[in-house]
Amino acid sequence: MKSKKKNKQARYEQWMAYLFIMPQYLGLICFVLIPVIVCFVLCFTSWDLIGEINFTGLSNFVSVFKDERIGKSLINTLIFALGIIPVTTIVSLCLALLTNREIKGLGFYKATYFLPMATSSVAIVLVWYWMFAPDLGIINFALGMLGIEGPGWLIDNAWARVAVILMSTWQGLGYYYLIFLAGLKSIPKEYYEAADIDGANTVQKFFRITLPLLSTTTFFVIITMTIGALNTFQEPMVLTEGGPEYSTYTIVMYIYDLAFKFFRMGEAAVVSVVLFMLVVLVTIVQFRLSGKWVHTNE
Amino acid sequence: MNKKNRINKYLIQAVLIIFAVFCIFPFYWMVLTALKSSNNVIEFPPKVYPTSFKFSNFADVFRLMPMGQAYLNSIKVTLLATFGTLFTSSLAAFAFAKMRFRFRGLLFGILLGTMMIPGQVTLIPLYIVFARLGWIDTHLPLIVPTVLTNAYGVFMIRQFMINLPSDYVEAAKIDGCNYFRIYWQVMLPLCKPIIVTLGLFTFIWNWNNYLGALIFLNTDTKFTVPLIISAFRGVYTVQWELLMAASTVAILPIIIMYLFSQKFFIQAVSLTGIKA
């Protein structure tokens, strides 16, 4: 009699639990799992949003890979990643090293450095658009004060890329700074004390203790930045609209153009899948490589 | 030695202050430009201190574009999406953390696995779904998927709940509480820190959501703030004082929120690596 009651109780609990996870699972199925499958299917069809959906085999793949924009957007992404990652990593790590001690105004610095990330939006990109303005912009004015003739930011192919990199660095700096600082704080002080007793200098301590023990953090930082670079959209969209001559055009902009400017849903799906694969690939490659230089506590 | 230490200390402070200025300057420059008259803006050399206070620029922003409407739209979308997703994800987290049911581990694993799928992959199919549902040019595509898909939120809240003693749940059960009341009246108040943190990040994300709005909204009366801002850029290309006034208006709520809750943000990033 008692066990029957208990059984009933357990079944009630189970049904309630299913009810509680239902909203999230419904969303997961409708807005993530099914769309992902549909995206893969769409790759093999042609559709302009209005007419019929026709199966076209591999023709979308052919036309996407014949289009020069896929190569350009991939190269730009690579350039952005190669520009943003080293600069941001070095600067944010240096700031973290400088503040990993008793310091006046630490709270203020943390809050200030993170502000650009907290406010990342179209509105702040617009502010950079204004600062980069070639004739009246404050950046070229400041350069002029230093006796340097400012470049044509946003209108010169190479400098437009530098502008995007500069702005992205500004935006991400504080976030990665906080991550590095948390990583530094997790290194046990005893290691440094032991090194002091052995007479190690600051440089030795940095390369022998700090850097190896920080490798998990660095790994996380680099993966996050790479995936961020792959998904870049807002900054070039507002700063340069992808130009000049596609020099700041990104993969997500290409997807957007294909789907909502040219209404080629099949080709847009192909590029989405390419992006998806790249994200997965980056993650796998970095996990593989990490075995060689990431120090873990296990 | 002591003197060297002191010099070092000043040097470090100097470097930190330079970077602080680097981080803040764009905001300062934005507000400064927003308060200039159009003559002041083209003045050369530019002044880096306030020379005029033309507050009418802000009024112009609301007059020239449906900024007021965009503000209401953004507030509506952001609040509904944020509170909605906090509710559904904490409810699911409660089940995963404190209730027993079949396939719990498997279902949780699937949920975590989907966290790696980038949003851009689902963009095109979602557009098709919403087009079929007749949701294009409404706010629903910006609210419903956000409310119903938040694997990261479920994960974070579950981690938090699992560390709370189950005694509370058992005691409440003996008192005859049903599961929803246990969730609502016992667990949720205990989860305040994580809920507030997630709420802040979700709020900001939704307030700044540009790509979604760009794709799903067409009529300017439906526009959210980021869309109005990019429309501004298209129409008033070189009227910098107007563009900056518009930017200031768009960023202001986030800055105010940040000033009051920056400790939450910094703690959350340091502990969990959550990204805005």
Q: B273 in contact with A at a CB cutoff of 8 Å?
A: yes
Using a CB–CB cutoff of 8 Å, tell me whether A121 touches chain B.
yes
Asked whether the beta carbons of residue A114 and residue B208 sit closer than 8 angstroms, the reply is no
In chain B, what residues touch A123 (CB-CB under 8 Å)? 225-226, 229, 246-248, 250-251
pLDDT at B143: 95
Nearest residue of B to residue A33 by CA position? B114
Domain boundaries defined on chain A: 2-42, 61-293
Collect all residues with Cβ–Cβ distance below 8 Å to B108 and sequence separation of at least 6. Answer: B96, B158
Residues from chain B contacting residue A95 (CB–CB below 8 Å): 15-16, 19
Amino acid letter, residue B191: C
The string of pLDDT tens digits covering residues A81-125 is 999 999 999 999 999 999 988 888 899 999 999 999 988 889 999
Q: What CA–CA distance (Å, rounded) separates A159 from A103? A: 37
Six token digits for residue A191: 């290691």
Residue numbers of chain B with a pLDDT score lower than 70:
1, 276
A35 touches chain B (CB under 8 A): yes
The minimal CB distance from A181 to the residues B214, B247, B270 is found for: B270
- Find the closest chain A residue to B101 by CA distance: A14
Structure pTM? 0.89
| Cα Rg, chain B, nearest whole Å | 24
Using DSSP's 3-state secondary structure scheme, residue B255 falls into helix
Mean per-residue pLDDT of chain A? 87
pLDDT tens per residue, range B49-79: 887 788 888 888 888 888 899 999 999 999 9
Question: What is the per-residue pLDDT for A55?
Answer: 82
**Cross-chain Cβ contact A178/B126 below 8 Å:** no
Contact by Cβ (8 Å): A265, B101: no
At residue A63 the predicted structure's pLDDT band, cuts being 50, 70 and 90, is: confident
Is the pLDDT at A2 greater than 60? The verdict is no
Q: Please state the ipTM of this predicted complex.
A: 0.89
Contact assignment for A124 to B96 by CB distance below 8 Å: no
CA distance B33 to chain A (A): 10
Q: Which residues in chain A have Cβ-Cβ distances shorter than 8 Å to B208?
A: 120-122
* Interchain pair B117, A32: CB under 8 A: yes
How far, in Å, are A195, A214, A268, B45 from residue A209 at the CA level? 9, 8, 47, 50
H-helix or E-strand spanning residue B175: none
Q: Which fold has domain A61-293?
A: MetI-like fold (1.10.3720)
Structural tokens at position A104: 């006046």
Whether A236 and A250 have beta carbons less than 8 Å apart is answered as yes
User: Which sequence spans correspond to the domains of chain B?
Assistant: 65-235
Query: Under 8 Å CB-to-CB from B154, ≥6 apart: which residues?
Result: A24, B89, B92, B93, B96, B111
- Helix/strand/coil for B141: helix
User: Tell me: the pLDDT tens digits for A153-167?
Assistant: 888 888 999 999 999
A90 near B CB under 8 A: no
Interface residue B270 vs chain A (CB under 8 A): yes
Query: For chain A, what percent of residues have pLDDT higher than 90?
Result: 31
Q: Å from B42 to nearest chain A CA? A: 7
Query: What pLDDT is stored for residue B90 in this prediction?
Result: 95
Shortest Cα distance, chain A CAs vs residue B129, angstroms:
9
CA distances from A233 to A251, A255, B37, B114 (A): 8, 10, 32, 22
> Which among A103, A127, A252 has the least Cβ separation from residue B26?
A127
Inspect the interface and report whether the beta carbons of B258 and A118 lie closer than 8 Å: yes
Query: Side-chain half-sphere of A176: how many Cα atoms within 13 Å?
Result: 30
Tell me which chain A residues have a C-beta less than 8 angstroms from the C-beta of B246: 123, 126
Structure-token pair, residue B104? 């719990």
User: Which distant-in-sequence residues (6+ apart) come within 8 Å of A95 by Cβ?
Assistant: A113, A173, A177, A180, B15, B16, B19
**Torsion angle of C-alpha atoms A39, A42, A44, A47, degrees rounded to 10:** -150
Q: Which of residues 40-69 of A touch B (CB under 8 A)?
A: 42, 49
Q: Would you say B137 and B219 are in contact if contact means Cβ atoms under 8 Å apart? A: yes
Hey, is the C-beta of A136 within 8 angstroms of any chain B C-beta? yes
pLDDT in tens, A208-243: 888 888 888 888 888 888 888 888 888 888 888 887
Q: Which residues of A241-268 are buried (b: 16+ CB within 10 A; e: fewer)?
A: ebeeebbbbbbbbbbbbbbbeeebbbbb
Q: How far does the CA of residue B175 sit from the closest CA of chain A (Å)?
A: 15
Nearest chain A residue to B211, by CA: A234
DSSP assignments along chain A, one per residue: -HHHHHHHHHHHHHHHHHHHHHHHHHHHIIIIIHHHHHHHHHTTEE--SSS--EE-TTHHHHHHHHSHHHHHHHHHHHHHHHHHHHHHHHHHHHHHHHHSSS-TTHHHHHHHHHHHHHT-SHHHHHHHHHHT-TTT-HHHHHHHHTT-PPP-TTTSHHHHHHHHHHHHHHHHHHHHHHHHHHHHHTS-HHHHHHHHHTT--HHHHIIIIIHHHTHHHHHHHHHHHHHHHHT--HHHHHHTTT-STTTT--HHHHHHHHHHTS--HHHHHHHHHHHHHHHHHHHHHHHHHHHHH-----
Q: Which of B231, B255, B257 is nearest to B243 (CA)?
A: B231
* pLDDT at position A298: 39
> Which residues of chain B does A274 touch, with a Cβ-Cβ cutoff of 8 Å?
none
CATH class of the domain defined by B65-235? mainly alpha
Amino acid letter, B11: L
